[in-house]
Structure 1
């Protein structure tokens, strides 16, 4: 199934979120605004004083030349100091916002249902967490404060020009707005869509690259290297085309900006010269006006040029905050909830990975609290799919699944994980200590509880034998653990998590049969009183269960104890005979 991509926030949502985020740091925001305003105001003093100086010299009044020169130097120094301080404060402000956005993005990503990530593809999430975060960081550190500086400088400069000569200020506006309005509007109507498309191509590159790396051995065995290279080349070609699109937009915008900032200077100089000839303005006024409009040209050009970075940053921010709503951290487990119903109650469940192709058909299954149920059946029958639905990874297309009396889809993610956990044969050991890896399940667990959980899965002995015991660093770049040891760490996590309902999907498949059987017996003792649903191919797991559900072609074909199903002589009896032959 082709990844569909994660949601993207629209412009209104992005701007509203940015405003709310900035409002949470009003002190830094106000300080930044005040300093930039003062810096911009200090930069206006020198052109005005130079105009006064020229008028004094032309009229023969040179008495105040030294004082004016000192004042000009003072304004220049003040502007430099305030600008430096402004950049420092705004950089700190930008880093603060960036840190908050990163934290929010991590919370949003962890709150995503696994099914959503699988449908979208991990490449999209990888690109958002790397390239989009990097682009947004550049905007918050540089483009956003620079845009504010340019805007304030432009407004103050035009105000100062109006004070010097309202007529010349009108000339400047009349020769600027018509020239820049058309190209800027044309650019803004196309830029966001173009940058979103560009970022989407990077997501596709990451998705296919990750799939190629993960399946490297299979690709080599089946000689699919050329096919994967062609796929990669196609992704790069699509990215090249998307970047050509954004480059085309910039190639239209920037030349227009160059003309838009030079034409007003020439116009003001021409009209100013005519006014001076007609004794309508002094030479100092014309000089100050030309200096002001020339000074306004730089922030005007920068302001419009920064639109490119702002559009890219806005697209990246939309991709980051569009990942999903942040789950409330205040939704805790409700241990006092009425638990009079069964642990799991599936009624009329249908499910399809693709529309029109159901893999589960009208499944009805009630599991009392504390029961150990084994789900068996041939490969592709729908066993793992049923386990995913019970664990809340996916939702039924039709029908309902209740956990302890509440519909699974109505529970928050935190509540759902308190109720049920799914453990599969795919396990991940995070970079860190053994203790860190286990404490993920319960941050309040002390060493005694951690060691007890390890003992429950027959892992305490080899963990104690590590060079630093629980403090031994494992994971990427550190001490490696075997697949079987990684599986034991994952199972020890679930002992610490202590859920009400536990779904084991071939959770002991990486252990040899004898070790797996011993481990399952240990787990059965530790998880006594918990509801355990074991999806298994090894029938000794089913033999030890209270009841067995046989899944055949997406339906519950048989349901009963081991002895009952063997005596019935149906599907399970045939599987049991094959297993023991």
Structure 2
């Protein structure tokens, strides 16, 4: 057993993100969550757009109207040039000038409304996709999420969603407006004279080659950068979350090297992206030069031949000059589109994953709180089994402590019973029903797992408690808190049950957070409770308070405790000792101490570590 300062199941750096029995490696391999293909991503987006067809059509119509009105500016300016050349006088300029003012106002209003509608459409579609992503992420098999690592899922739900939201609010309206401006301007050039359109097309090959050069490189770099960012975030969570274990096992240098390596990879990819953007814009400048030179030469030749007026040539030049910003914006936004597209594919990849496998038909319900494990075996990595042929029979209402040295398989056994992992071999029955027949949802209804890592959700204390039972009244919430000895400090909060806790609210202590988890257990009223080191982080005094609270929370239900403190194990009805993934001893505290086996050695070591030296007593 490890001492209080080094909880034996604090997160260790492992190949699979597990913490009990999984081998650690210098280059952890994670089964990252999938990324959707381009075709699959487009199919999902099209499906979401069809749900908001009216808004999409309205947005497009308003933007087209605004862009079309704005294109009248160049012909009006050309008309003014012709009037000046023909010496039409100031009176002749009145109508074109008034029209220019009207065009500017109408274009501004229509463009603003159109962009607003496009942004609203994007936000609506993003909200649908976000809800779809969250709904599926919450229903993914827990083992799949653990294999991917917390950093991968966290990066998608934070960084990827943020990036897409920024693209929807800024890039999407700008891109839509730029694209329509380009298309309608080309139509306007053709209306002025088809030869102006041909002159403009001289720059098209440069644009096409630029995009073809840029897109494949950008897609690869941005996709790799998102993965590298996720790997960096995963490593930060591992290193910071398990800092005590990292220090205890003298892994500080190794974790620092891993952080430096993954930070360097992310920085290198970001720098490559910046170099790519610089090359991209240098090519666009060359295209602008070629296009403008071509349109001026064409205008000169046509005016000289008498085919068009100076005003028409001026309008053509203004049209092409007006394309600079839209083309640059559209092509530059490909940069944002590639990055957002990579993030979008990562969200769609998760939202398209199959949900947890549920049994066909109506699953049977457990008849009681008994737990039976037969021939259970499990391995996180092939060839490195963590549990070997484990048999365990827990009677309904019995309290059993799982004891053993670090890496013995205690947490793995608890997670298998709770349905976090599927066993490699053997069976688990809850209340006489095989867990495969119950399905993941049935197992969660029957078993509540409380670990040393308790999350306090942002909201009032009452809302946090009602996560366990949404229909619970305030009296039932207070009764649950009182049952685990937490009502006193809950009433002492500034606003009692209405006090906002969690992120941005009142900060609960470790002991209070565990009290909250135990109160949730009482409200859930699951027949089986698993306490995995639930008192490990509370310190000696807090641990004793929580041990009492845990015993009260387990009243009337079957309890399995992964015991960090042997005095807690001594209070159990029965103690099961694991070593090397096998059950080596079982019995009461007194029986095992008298037997002189593994448990007796652990108890002796624990007692010696708590015995005061004679010099101190004197």
Q: Is the 8 A contact 1:343 1:367 kept in 2?
A: yes
From the superposition, tell whether residues 302 and 456 of structure 1 become closer, same or farther in structure 2 (CA, over 3 Å). same
Question: Hey, what does 1:203 align to over in structure 2?
Answer: 230
| Offset, 1:540 | 6.9
For the residue of structure 2 that corresponds to 1:322, the secondary structure is helix
Q: Deviations over 1:260-293 (max 9, x none)?
A: 2331222122123222222333333322222222
Asked whether 1:288 is paired with 2:315, we answer yes
Q: Deviations over 1:157-181 (max 9, x none)?
A: 11121122122212322x1221122
Give the TM-score normalised by structure 2. Answer: 0.81
Q: Is the 8 A contact 1:111 1:326 kept in 2?
A: no
Question: Hey, what does 2:7 align to over in structure 1?
Answer: none
Q: Is the 8 A contact 2:365 2:438 kept in 1?
A: no
Question: Hey, what does 1:157 align to over in structure 2?
Answer: 185
Unmatched 5+ stretches in structure 2: 1-14, 16-27, 609-618
Alignment of 1:445-464 (within 5 A): 445-464=472-491
Give the TM-score normalised by structure 1. Answer: 0.85
Unmatched 5+ stretches in structure 1: none
Question: Hey, what does 1:394 align to over in structure 2?
Answer: 421
Alignment of 1:175-194 (within 5 A): 175-194=202-221
Question: Hey, what does 1:351 align to over in structure 2?
Answer: 378
Alignment of 1:419-568 (within 5 A): 419-475=446-502, 478-508=505-535, 510=538, 515=545, 518-525=548-555, 528=556, 530-536=557-563, 549-557=576-584
Q: Is the 8 A contact 1:502 1:531 kept in 2?
A: yes
Alignment of 1:560-579 (within 5 A): none
Asked whether 1:43 is paired with 2:70, we answer yes
Question: Hey, what does 2:199 align to over in structure 1?
Answer: 171
Question: Hey, what does 2:283 align to over in structure 1?
Answer: 256
* Aligned mates of 2:50, 2:225 — CA distance in 1: 31
Q: Paired residue for 1:86, among 111, 114, 125?
A: 114
* Aligned mates of 1:411, 1:196 — CA distance in 2: 39
Question: Hey, what does 1:77 align to over in structure 2?
Answer: 105
Q: How many residues align?
A: 575
For the residue of structure 1 that corresponds to 2:381, the secondary structure is coil
From the superposition, tell whether residues 74 and 409 of structure 1 become closer, same or farther in structure 2 (CA, over 3 Å). farther
* Aligned mates of 1:145, 1:412 — CA distance in 2: 45
From the superposition, tell whether residues 578 and 208 of structure 1 become closer, same or farther in structure 2 (CA, over 3 Å). closer
Q: Is the 8 A contact 1:392 1:409 kept in 2?
A: no
Question: Hey, what does 1:247 align to over in structure 2?
Answer: 274
Asked whether 1:304 is paired with 2:331, we answer yes
Asked whether 1:318 is paired with 2:345, we answer yes
Q: Paired residue for 1:279, among 269, 292, 306?
A: 306
From the superposition, tell whether residues 190 and 407 of structure 1 become closer, same or farther in structure 2 (CA, over 3 Å). farther
Asked whether 1:96 is paired with 2:124, we answer yes
* Aligned mates of 2:362, 2:497 — CA distance in 1: 31
| Offset, 1:413 | 5.3
Q: Is the 8 A contact 1:547 1:561 kept in 2?
A: yes
Q: Deviations over 1:115-164 (max 9, x none)?
A: 44444333334433433233212210111111111111111111121122
Q: Paired residue for 1:136, among 142, 164, 175?
A: 164
Q: Deviations over 1:309-348 (max 9, x none)?
A: 111111122233334558989x99x998454699545444
From the superposition, tell whether residues 328 and 284 of structure 1 become closer, same or farther in structure 2 (CA, over 3 Å). same
* Aligned mates of 1:366, 1:176 — CA distance in 2: 78
| Offset, 1:59 | 5.5
For the residue of structure 2 that corresponds to 1:428, the secondary structure is coil
* Aligned mates of 1:297, 1:563 — CA distance in 2: 86
Q: Deviations over 1:450-486 (max 9, x none)?
A: 1221222122234334443323444456545443332
| Offset, 1:408 | 4.3
* Aligned mates of 2:381, 2:347 — CA distance in 1: 27
* Aligned mates of 2:457, 2:229 — CA distance in 1: 26
* Aligned mates of 2:78, 2:432 — CA distance in 1: 82
| Offset, 1:419 | 2.7
Question: Hey, what does 2:10 align to over in structure 1?
Answer: none
Select the structure with the greater relative contact order (CA < 8 A; seq sep ≥ 6).
Answer: 2
